[in-house]
Structure 1
Amino acid sequence: MSESEYQTVVQLLPRLRRFAYGLCGSMEAAEDLVQEACTRLLASAGDKEGYLDRWLFRTIRNLHVDGLRSRQVSERYRHRLVQAENDQRVGSRHTEASIELDEVRALMQQLPPEQREVLLLIGVEGFSYRECSRMLDLPIGTVTSRVARARRQLVRWMTSDPKDDEP
């Protein structure tokens, strides 16, 4: 790895961690994803200068998807229930703004993975639709429609009566 690639990776680490956290909802799991992506980068051959960021974000996404496939569905739902119970107990100590942020994070975890990942890349990480399209190897129209669906669903969940529309 060249010195410039190393510096690029160091500069990307906060964004990579934030993206990984957004995908999996756990800082520990996010750190594991970023570490594994960096390990794979070091083990890979070839010059990635110019597209190192896309390679790392895509690797994190692929590692996350692989992890999802290997877990049982019941484990995912059990984790969500435990998190919801913890949020209810701790909720009274949060400010109103942090409660809303927690709600948005929880709702984003309810989105289908393909919608959540494009929303994170574009809405949180600030990538353009075209950059996201290249990173995920998707047509730009697919990226656009996934972002629109994700945003529409989040608005629907946040503006509806919780009794009427469970995420």
Structure 2
Amino acid sequence: MAETTTHVAEPTRRDFLYIATGAAAAVGGATLVWPFIQSLAPDAATKAAGAPVEVDLTPIAEGQIVKIFWRGNLIFIRHRSAQEIKAAQDVNVASLRDPQADSERVKNGKDQWLVVYGNCTHLGCVPLGNAGEYNGWFCPCHGSVFDTSGRVRGGPAPINLPIPPYSFVSDTKLIIGQEATA
């Protein structure tokens, strides 16, 4: 039987030059590319867009729904009438698809203010306010119906309109994006 031998070549000066040139190119390329990559980062104004938003409730009339944006999300602020509050409170919670009492969806003592995300929980369309069978919201895309508490009452939406974090600073001001600390 013939014996086979493997010959391992010793590194040459050319191999060293290839490695050294490649390393220098990588370091130099990173030095040139890094400022470009940093320029793609959001600036301070964009980062501040996620900051809490203060809303003055004074100009919002009873029965009116105001739309604002917070962190790129549509938010509905609804000034509910006494009739809308009573209708929302009188609902048999056990009959709801996503059972939640009206008192769980508003701040204690501020029943007239409902604050919810403004996209249908089915596929994200924007529902029309003061519309639908319960005079809450009606989604024109696929027919979901929400009551004056933002609870799903019909159509394909699986859950209620979610509630963003918010707190009241005073009787006429609230902050969206910040829960109460007390």
Bin for the TM-score computed over the shorter chain: under 0.3
State TM-score, norm by structure 1. Answer: 0.23
- Rg bigger for which structure? 2
Q: Which structure carries more strand by proportion?
A: 2
State TM-score, norm by structure 2. Answer: 0.22
